[in-house]
């Protein structure tokens, strides 16, 4: 049977189309890249060029910091804790490859050693002239009660000595003693790190409760205890007591104080004081809590202070607000002591002005 001409044309066209489609698929698979989906496009558009750069290339500041870190050198030291004498012995052995701080390509290094728990007591090694690899071989002893070892950090700072200018710090090693096993003698090397900002001296913490009864106008302050107080005496302890001052309209009004607790950095007082403060004045009163070190021979020294009231901030303001919001209910809280001069400046007391109000 003869095949119609139109059928032959149809078959030829269909075959040509199939071949063309097959060739297009091969070209797409081999040459074209996969296009991102709609979700991917949105995600990529949301990322800025600078962010994309940071993902594949480190920031220059990070690179410079890394190079700066490597150039400071290493310090070798030893640690030994005598549990019987409660002494921490620090050996500063040597340093190598220190950063050159002088124009001649050398340094005049020495090391300062201290504990963050007692920053007043600092030791220094001898100065070694014009060297980047000094050998110190010096040892220092700190009196540290075993219970306080884990709360302290050993700091060893390497300085470059300058006769007529400020000494430059090359780097430091900070070693939290809580992370060190002191049952055995430790001797090791550590890389010098960029020196931290000067930390504020830890003055201690105090716990007390506040209670106010609006109907009777009685403000009750219960001094409970303190801990981790700053060492004020030569033997590494203090004789603390607490003063409670009431300030009205920035002028001293009333004050009371606790008994003295001898030779301790963790005194327990549990002493209560009651002040009469009318409800009309409670918004204008500041309560100043200060911890002092008693001394029979010389003048008593302040360890730290804090104040509460409507002018206070942070935890002190929160404690005061909680007291006013919960009348007749005693509320206890721990507070960190602050430098006395900082608190005095914040209070802005008016001097040489007398109040017509008298202490009771």
Delimit the domains of the chain by residue range.
Answer: 72-191, 204-347
Phi, psi of 62 (to 5 degrees): -65, -40
- Give the pLDDT confidence score for residue 246 in this predicted structure: 94
Assign 72 to helix, strand or coil: coil
pLDDT at 311 over 80: yes
- CA atoms within a 13 Å half-sphere pointing along the CA-CB vector of 171: 24
Domains 72-191 and 204-347 share a fold: yes
pLDDT at 95 over 70: yes
Give per-residue pLDDT as tens, 166-179.
Answer: 688 999 999 999 88
Determine contact, residues 204/230, Cβ cutoff 8 Å. Answer: yes
pLDDT at 188 over 60: yes
Indicate the average pLDDT of the chain.
81
Determine contact, residues 166/140, Cβ cutoff 8 Å. Answer: no
pLDDT at 58 over 60: no
Q: Which residue has the higher pLDDT, 329 or 358?
A: 329
Q: Which residue has the higher pLDDT, 291 or 122?
A: 291
User: Per the structure block, which two tokens stand in for 75?
Assistant: 């310090």
d(CA 254, CA 252): 6
**What's the pTM value of the predicted model, to 2 decimals?**
0.50
Helix (H) or strand (E) holding 183: none
Q: Which residue has the higher pLDDT, 43 or 314?
A: 314
Q: Which residue has the higher pLDDT, 195 or 63?
A: 195
pLDDT at 70 over 70: no
Q: Name the band, by pLDDT with cuts 50, 70 and 90, for residue 57.
A: very low
CA distances from 302 to 84, 184, 204, 248, 307 (A): 32, 39, 12, 22, 14
Phi, psi of 354 (to 5 degrees): -100, 145
Fold classified for 72-191: Immunoglobulin-like (2.60.40)
Q: Which of 309, 304, 330 is nearest to 321 (CA)?
A: 309
Q: Name the band, by pLDDT with cuts 50, 70 and 90, for residue 55.
A: very low
- Give the pLDDT confidence score for residue 76 in this predicted structure: 96
Q: What is the mean pLDDT of residues 265-284?
A: 94
pLDDT at 199 over 60: no
CATH architecture of the domain covering 204-347: Sandwich (2.60)
pLDDT at 37 over 50: no
Determine contact, residues 14/21, Cβ cutoff 8 Å. Answer: no
């Amino acid at each position: 049977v003869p095949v119609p001409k139109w059928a032959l044309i149809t078959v030829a066209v269909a075959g040509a189309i199939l071949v063309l489609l097959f060739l297009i698929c091969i070209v797409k698979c081999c040459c074209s890249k996969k296009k991102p989906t709609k979700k991917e496009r949105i995600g990529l558009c949301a990322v800025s060029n600078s962010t994309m750069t940071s993902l594949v290339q480190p920031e220059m500041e990070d690179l410079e910091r890394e190079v700066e870190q490597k150039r400071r050198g290493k310090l070798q030291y030893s640690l030994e804790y005598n549990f019987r004498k409660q002494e921490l012995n620090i050996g500063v052995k040597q340093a190598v490859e220190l950063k050159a701080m002088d124009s001649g390509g050398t340094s005049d290094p020495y090391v300062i050693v201290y504990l963050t728990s007692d920053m007043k007591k600092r030791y220094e090694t001898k100065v070694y002239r014009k060297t980047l690899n000094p050998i110190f071989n010096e040892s220092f002893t700190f009196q540290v009660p075993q219970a306080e070892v884990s709360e302290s950090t050993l700091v060893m700072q390497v300085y470059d000595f300058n006769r007529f200018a400020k000494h430059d710090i090359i780097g430091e090693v900070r070693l939290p003693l809580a992370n060190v096993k002191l049952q055995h003698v430790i001797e090791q090397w550590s890389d010098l790190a960029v020196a931290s900002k000067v930390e504020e001296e830890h003055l201690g913490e105090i716990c007390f409760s506040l209670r106010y009864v609006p109907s009777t106008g009685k403000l009750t302050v219960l001094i409970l205890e303190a801990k981790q107080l700053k060492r004020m005496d030569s033997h590494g302890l203090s004789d603390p007591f607490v003063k409670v001052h009431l300030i009205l309209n920035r002028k001293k009004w009333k004050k009371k104080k606790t008994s003295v607790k001898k030779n301790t950095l963790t005194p327990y007082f549990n002493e209560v004081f009651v002040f009469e403060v009318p409800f009309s004045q409670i918004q204008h009163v500041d309560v100043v809590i200060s911890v002092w070190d008693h001394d029979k021979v010389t003048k008593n020294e302040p360890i730290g202070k804090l104040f509460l009231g409507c002018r206070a901030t942070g935890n002190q303001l929160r404690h005061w607000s909680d007291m006013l919001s919960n009348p007749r209910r005693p509320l206890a809280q721990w507070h960190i002591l602050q430098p006395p001069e900082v608190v005095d400046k914040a209070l802005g007391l008016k001097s040489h002005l007398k109040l017509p109000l008298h202490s009771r």
